[in-house]
Structure 1
Amino acid sequence: MRKFDYSLDYKQLDLRERPELYAIGRGEQGVLTVEPYKSEILPNWRFKDPETATKSSEKIWAQFQEYLDKGEFVGADMARKFLQMGYTRARRYANHKGGKKYDGPVPDDKKGVSGAHGRPELPRTPEDPVKAEAARIFKAKWDAAVADERYLKQKADFIERYG
């Protein structure tokens, strides 16, 4: 499986038209860059509380299914990444009041790339039960997405075709 290529100009690329340029990468890589999918999914992505997370994850789940119906693996994988990001961001807010996990600024050459980059992790605050429940809601949809038989088949076909 290819690494996500951050050197491509995703603002100018339409990955619906050029799916061969997409690399699944690891985790949430590219979730906020790959067009047109980012612009289609991002407006539905919210995790402030369980009600919001439920509505959001259901909308993104429906988009995931629609992309699979159309055979658009890139869109389905992007929807999967948004479900995963709903979980990870809600968990971050559940563990760290205000959502700030690391101390200090992100170095300029590491903006947009996840990780601590040498910064110390801030201490965890008492768990926020509202954000923890929002995370659980997204986790259930994310788990369902990565286990979906059509997703797995399209993923295998995509990897076989494009690497």
Structure 2
Amino acid sequence: MTTTRTVQITFDCADPATLALFWTEVLGYRVQDPPPGFATWDDALDAFGVPASERNRASAILDPAGVGPRVFFQRVPEGKQAKNRVHLDVRAAPGLQGEERMAALEEEATRLGRLGAARLARYEPAPPLELGTIVMADPEGNEFCLD
């Protein structure tokens, strides 16, 4: 018997709050609300006795429609060492092909660049699928593709 499971995507990072806000803009997500009974995360963390120096240990963002996976950001002491073995493909031009597709990807790459992303490479449409991509990195260097 096979059981279907949901997934959470987790990023190791230096600054969870900042990276979470960046990815809310990329994915159209929102920062996860504080626990019930608290107006803000600071209110909740005060009640839980979490010191100010430990308040940026983690952050999470959610798909407002409840369809996509939760994305979790956790602070780690080490920096990014090498190319990601797994990365996200952000579907920025679904259904488009050729120059129309590349123009839409360029527009999104420019928008994300203003938010702190870096452009790493552009791959032109080529047979057999005629689909191009733009490889980007988030503000902490995690690679992702605009697809």
**Does the alignment reach a TM-score above 0.5?**
no
Q: TM-score, normalised by structure 2?
A: 0.32
Structure with higher helix content: 1
Structure with higher strand content: 2
Q: TM-score, normalised by structure 1?
A: 0.29
Which is greater in Rg?
2
